[in-house]
Amino acid sequence: MPSGTAAAPPAGEYLSLHNDWFPSLWTHVLPRHQPMMIAMLFGTATVQRLEGDLDDVVSQVFGEGAVHALQLGDEGLDSPVLWVDDEDLTDTTPEEAEEIRAAAAAHQEWLAAALRERSLPAPTTVRELAATMQALGLVRRMGRRWDTPHRLPLPEDVLPLPEELLQRLRIRAIRTLQPAEQALLTYFTATQSRTSSAAAR
C-alpha cells in the first residue's frame, strides 16, 4: 500500500496538468512521449496533496499493476525512456521512418549534451526522467509532499539549448504576447469609446 496519507483519486481519473506545460514548450525539449504523463503525475500529486516517494505517488495516481504499463511503459517507472514509438512509424515509408529515427537520435544527443552542461546525467528510464524533471525545477519535493512551482521554469533559462531550438522557442513569446496586445487594444478602444460618448453628452 502507498505510504502517503492523502486520499488519492480513482486511478487514472482527475489527472491535473500544470497550465504552463504546453506554453513553456517543454514538449520540444524533453523526450516526446513520457514527460507529459510525468508532468501529470506531478500536477496531480500537487493538487491532491499526495505524500510519499515517487513509487508511492505513482501508485496513488495511476493505481497498481497493469495501469503502470499503460501510463508509463511496460515496466512502470523502470521502463526505458521512449524516443521513438511504434505509432510514430505508422503509415510511413522506410525513408520517412529513417528520418524520424534520425531526428529522435539527434534530439537525444543534444539533450544529453545540455544536461551534461548542468552536470546532470542523461535519463535512460522513466524513473531517471522524473528525477531529471525534478532537477530542472518542474517539481519540488518538500519532505514527503510534492509541489509544482506557480510558474514552470522556461527550458532556455535552465538548459543551454541549440540555436535552432531557441528560434522555435521564441515563437512562444509571440503567441503569448499577441493575446495580451489584443486585450490591451480592446481595452483602450472601449475606454476611448466611453470617453467620446461622455464628451458628446
CA 64 – CA 101 distance, rounded (Å): 32
Check residue 74 and give its pLDDT: 83
Tens of pLDDT along 99-118?
Answer: 999 999 999 999 999 999 99
Residues linked to residue 145 through DSSP beta bridges, in sequence order? 51, 142
Instruction: Say if residue 62's pLDDT is above 50.
Output: yes
Of residues 65 and 121, the one with the higher pLDDT is 121
Check residue 139 and give its pLDDT: 97
Check residue 3 and give its pLDDT: 34
Q: Out of 11-15, 30-34, 67-71, 92-96, pick the least confident.
A: 67-71
Check residue 63 and give its pLDDT: 78
Residues linked to residue 141 through DSSP beta bridges, in sequence order? 146
Query: With pLDDT > 70 as the criterion, what percentage of the chain qualifies?
Result: 76
Instruction: Say if residue 22's pLDDT is above 80.
Output: yes
Tens of pLDDT along 149-178?
Answer: 999 999 999 999 999 899 888 876 555 544
Crossing angle for the helix pair 35-47 and 126-135, to the nearest 10 degrees = 60
Band of pLDDT at residue 125, cut at 50, 70 and 90? very high
Q: What is the 3-state secondary structure (H, E, C) of 45-106?
A: HHHCCCECCHHHHHHHHHCCCHHHHHHHCCCHHHCECCCCCHHHHCCCCHHHHHHHHHHHHH
The pTM assigned to this predicted structure is 0.78
Domains of the chain: which residue ranges?
A: 1-160, 162-201
Check residue 4 and give its pLDDT: 32
